Amino acid sequence: MTQPDQLAQLKRLTTVVADTGNFKQLAQYAPQDATTNPSLILKAVQQPDYAPLLAETVAAHKGEALDSIVDQVLVRFGREILKVVPGRVSTEVDARLSFDTAATIARAHRLIGLYEAAGVKRERVLIKVASTWEGIRAAEQLEREGIRCNLTLLFAFCQAVACGDAKVQLISPFVGRIYDWYKKAAGAQWDEAANAGANDPGVKSVRAIFNHYKRHGVATEVMGASFRNVGQIVALAGCDLLTISPELLATLQASAAPVERALDAAAAAKMDLPAVHYDEQRFRWALNEDAMATEKLAEGIRAFAADAAKLDRLIEDLRK
């Protein structure tokens, strides 16, 4: 019997999610869910395959406020994705609202309202929110209303703990961006082989979060994100979910190398790990003390905000 490809093997251990706005690519990988972000949507609408969808959506809502048209575009992409995946789609709140709890809640309400008006049940949508203190508080309120959330731009253990305490549906710890920071910080001293696989700093971060959640009965799902290579993905086999770019999904599909369970919920439940909680002051201090997380969170918000502004300009040009 021939060995199944790595993607098939991974699906036996972990829920595989596609990280893309390019919904025409999805079917060949048969993911359960899909995630999007401002950068991925911007990239998609600039491609010939998707430019008509953007133009059509803008034309249909030309007289509305700019932020309302943006949400229409995001939801249109989400609806197309849901025609391909059987599970959920993640749609992100504007990153420029990352420090405004009330505005994040209002934007989430509008996104869910647009989905529901189109006949999509809210259970199939995850609202993506940055893992700032304000974002976590917004998600806590939204979850109480039955609006499920995906807390993104998560780099620090304190962010994960606060999300678990807020009873959010899912978190997306960023593996590759953590790896990037440590590699850059080490410079010429970086040893790739010594920091690969289970020793990768991004992998270690997700493993610590996963073990903490399983040890203390935290129901929040852990979805590793932002991968740079297949080694990082294989080293997290057994995580609740992994969201993977089409490029890396193709690499997994092309290889028959073995994939074995790396994270084990049953084993984690028996670990000697102390319970940890953070109030606002302790959360902000813990985040401040983590240079990597502080820098990557700020950088990520700035990058998503910049791409959101570029999408704004594309829409403004179309409705002139």
Residue 14: exposure state from Cβ atoms within 10 A (0-12, 13-18, ≥19): buried
Encoded amino acid at 311, one letter? L
Whole-number Å distance between alpha carbons of 8 and 13: 9
- Catalytic residue among 128, 184, 204, 320, which? 128
- Number of residues assigned to the chain: 320
Please name the residues in contact with 285: beta carbons below 8 A apart, sequence gap of 6 or more. none
Whose tokens are 């999610």? That residue is: 17
Is residue 231 within 8 A of residue 178, CB to CB? The reply is no
Among this protein's residues, is 62 annotated catalytic? no
For CA atoms 145, 150, 153, 156, the dihedral sign is positive
Which residue in this structure is represented by tokens 């770019």? 245
Residue 42: CA atoms inside 13 Å, Cβ hemisphere, count? 17
CA distance 139 to 151: 8
| Alpha helix stretches (DSSP H) within the chain | 6-11, 38-45, 51-60, 66-82, 101-117, 133-144, 157-165, 175-186, 201-215, 230-234, 246-253, 265-268, 280-289, 291-318
Q: Which residues contact 45 (CB under 8 A, 6 or more apart)?
A: 21, 51, 53, 54, 73, 311, 314
Quick one: tokens of 195?
């920091």
Distances (CA, A) of 222 to 75, 280, 299: 24, 22, 22
Which residues are known to be catalytic?
128
